[in-house]
Chain A
């Protein structure tokens, strides 16, 4: 499963990286005469409602998906790990504040919160990244806090403290590394979550703004032509499904590796 997932993700990443460079078509170039044309040898995925090459747009959209995924996951993972580690290790007021923030944010369905945030802040790629990060760090913080509470009791952590090591050194060298496997698993699943959320926000018109192609906006464009030109929906839809599946496979596979018992 890990390998299937990793292959999907690798192929998708390569496609996002080099695809836009090798396709002969500009994702924004309109050929109105050919609008809604189905797949053909020149336009493998067909053309959309404005006569733009769908393959070129799916490839360009992949860049947006990866950009959102990587940005949201790396910022949330780092912030969530640090906050969770601090909360778990020091306890007290710091823990109370961080844990309450986590509880409050977890009480809302994440996507609804992101929609509300972007609706208030205004639709833009930057605000999507911001909103997804605000809901993203929470998962890491909760997991890392739990792991740190466990690791605090490890004898080698106590031994490091008995050596005179300061709290930051103990955290950095001995405690946080024990949370890395958990964070990596969560990050893989988080990539899937961020990609799907960005697509959802863009579908609702709250995300990436035209003419920048995003899989979500493409789905929105295809909505009116589900019956007469299903390829408008099919290809971006497949792209989302495959990439999300790929990241979920990677996440689950890594989890099994890290903790075979839990299966």
Chain B
């Protein structure tokens, strides 16, 4: 369905070009949900915008391929990519308040999705809008269509965004943190609704979030992103049971209700800002398991299991062996990790 390979998007900052998305590859298969996780600033939204070719200056797509249903999106003409936006690939934005124009009724805005692609005449649009609002379970749909965004609650607005996204029956929906701005109970409703829409409309879903809990409930496979790179990807089960990248393990530990006897531990330090990514493995300043090679050359992606790969020297037997032979004070990576997990901070 969607194959992203080597995607690189740079921002031309005053200090020079900086890659917010760096050689990113992943795949969303027909009918599946791929979760893209990472802390704020890791490049998730820029990845989504790049797929849709919506990156604006000073950003630009510097390389890579985005194949969607056999077509290369990065080389399409502006007119052809526009025909795909909204109609074949829909994007749901993060903030249900600001993603709707305050000066138009929601009916008007859902109709726009249909009119842009000629999926309805102005006259037909009105009744289709009501159908869509009913499909996303908005009560009293005909009346709500005449409301302005500020008259609706956050959850209702998010439903409106979902209605807009499915209006043209796309085959892929990219949902960028669709639940972040909502409170917990509404988050759960929204995920249910997304799952339901996915089944009803036979969608593939690229679900972007910083919340592994959302991934656990919704996704089939996961890609973990850090500082513009995919650092680990694999089936949800494998990622949760047997994470191979220290960053993924950190994210899992910081999940509420994590296995670690209820103790909540955020990863030390902060995501580096664009333009100041550390050399080598960009995670090394925060990594509890770092060793010699980490700060010089970025690790390449290594297969660690069935359809499961990670970018970390701990999975590179030659590096780990040389570390052991040098008699480093770290024990094997696995025990090293455990001692850190259990030990006092």
Contacts and interface: CB of A to CB of B under 8 A. Distances in A.
Interface of A: 91, 152-156, 158-166, 169, 173-174, 177
List of 7 A-B pairs having minimum Cβ-Cβ separation, nearest first: A164-B86, A163-B86, A164-B85, A162-B91, A155-B98, A156-B101, A155-B99
B205 interface: no
A163 B54 contact: no
A163 B52 contact: no
- Indicate the member of A155, A162, A165, A177 with the most B CB atoms within 10 Å: A162
Interface residues of B, number: 29
A120 B84 CA distance: 54
Given A156-B102, A163-B116, A164-B117, 7 more contacts: A155-B95, A156-B98, A158-B93, A159-B100, A163-B85, A166-B116, A169-B116
Contacts of B101: 156, 160, 173-174
Contacts of B84: 164
A162 B94 contact: no
Contacts of B252: none
A2 B56 CA distance: 40
A163 B164 contact: yes
Given A160-B112, A163-B112, A165-B116, A177 B103 contact: yes
A162 B103 contact: no
Nearest to B57: A91
Interface string B38-59: 0000000000010010101100
Nearest to A166: B82
Contact of B113 (A153, A154, A163): A163
Nearest to A163: B86
B82 A159 contact: no
A162 B85 contact: yes
- Indicate the member of A152, A158, A169 with the most B CB atoms within 10 Å: A158
A110 to B, nearest CB: 32
Contact of B85 (A152, A161, A169): A161
A173 B101 CA distance: 10
Contacts of A169: 116
B54 A154 contact: no
B10 interface: no
A173 B90 CA distance: 20
Contacts of A173: 101, 104, 112
Contacts of A154: 98
B170 to A, nearest CB: 10
B116 A162 contact: no
29 contacts: A91-B57, A152-B56, A153-B56, A155-B95, A155-B99, A156-B98, A156-B99, A156-B100, A156-B102, A158-B49, A158-B93, A158-B99, A159-B93, A159-B99, A159-B161, A159-B164, A161-B54, A162-B52, A162-B54, A162-B85, A163-B85, A163-B90, A163-B113, A164-B82, A164-B86, A164-B117, A165-B116, A166-B82, A174-B101
- Indicate the member of A155, A156, A160, A169 with the most B CB atoms within 10 Å: A156
Nearest to B56: A152
A162 B48 CA distance: 11
Interface string B45-83: 000010010101100000000000000000000000011
A217 to B, nearest CB: 45
